[in-house]
Amino acid sequence: MGLRERVKSVLLKGYEFRLNRWLDGKQRPRHVGVVLDGNRRWAKEAGFTDVAHGHRAGARKILELLTWCREAEVEVVTLWMLSTDNLDRPAEELEPLLDIIADIVDELAEPGNPWRVRHVGALDMLPTETAARLSAAALRTKGRTGLEVNVAVGYGGRQEIADAVRKLLQKHAESGGTIEELAEVLDVDHIAEHLYTSGQPDPDLLIRTSGEQRLSGFMLWQSAHSEFWFCEAYWPEFRRTDFLRALRDYAVRHRRFGS
């Protein structure tokens, strides 16, 4: 590392220290959702012909983010790794991406790590081997008390709502009820109970990297009162400084919850 880089690193650490001190005692998000966007563009701009290099760099960044979240006392993190739309990508890109995702989820589930892994998404839309690896990783973390990590793989907000309604109808039918009876009592809580994130608090803060300022269907139901924060950096370039800035912006927002 050259002198210029060392000076820049020292200045950045000092800035992060000041941000952390300012955040002390301020409101913090319990649940943070992150759209991990820009891996492919990062790889292409870095000169790689194989975009899998971007996905691997993005996977390594996940471990850093979870450490930052634990330090900030975040309780739940939802990571959007693969959408239902992404499943239509060419096999030569999708297959390595699925392996990279399964590998990082396996790493999260390794003994000694504190993370509690939970898959959120449509397992039946994923290849059998990928679905099995994600389910097994989540099972290995059962009983842990650390940060809960939702890995959103094969996830789409519309698909989630459709699956929730389907589960609700199936449960009602199994109990012997009729559609007319369900229609009389159906409310938003009934649907919320059948979402992939059932039992968890809705996200307080949603972060998207790469400069795109849209949710693209991420947590459509749960984000009704979420605060949004958009970052220009591609996901592999996302820094602790960026995360602390997101927390700072969240801390000064007055959350009205529709009131």
Q: DSSP letters of 44-87?
A: HHTT-SSTHHHHHHHHHHHHHHHHHHHHTT--EEEEEEEETGGG
Is 39 marked as binding a ligand?
yes
**Which element (helix H / strand E) includes 230?**
strand 227-230
| CA distance linking residue 231 with residue 208, whole number of Å | 6
Query: Which one is catalytic: 20, 86, 99, 163?
Result: 86
Residue whose C-alpha is closest to residue 78's, from 50, 36, 46, 110: 36
Is 221 marked as binding a ligand?
no
Is 166 marked as binding a ligand?
no
Is 198 marked as binding a ligand?
no
Phi/psi of residue 75, nearest 5 degrees: -95, -35
Residue found under tokens 């097994």: 136
Is 56 marked as binding a ligand?
no
Active site residue 113: no
Is 83 marked as binding a ligand?
yes
| CA distance linking residue 248 with residue 245, whole number of Å | 5
Is 87 marked as binding a ligand?
no
| CA distance linking residue 160 with residue 78, whole number of Å | 14
Is 241 marked as binding a ligand?
no
Active site residue 163: no
Query: Which one is catalytic: 37, 113, 150, 202?
Result: 37
Is 140 marked as binding a ligand?
no
| CA distance linking residue 217 with residue 162, whole number of Å | 13
Is 63 marked as binding a ligand?
no
Is 215 marked as binding a ligand?
yes
Burial tier of 189 (Cβ tally within 10 Å: 0-12, 13-18, 19+): exposed
Is 40 marked as binding a ligand?
yes
**Sequence ranges of the binding site for Mg(2+):** 37, 227
**Sequence ranges of the binding site for substrate:** 38-42, 55, 83-85, 89, 208, 214-216
Active site residues: 37, 86
**Sequence ranges of the binding site:** 37-42, 55, 83-85, 89, 208, 214-216, 227
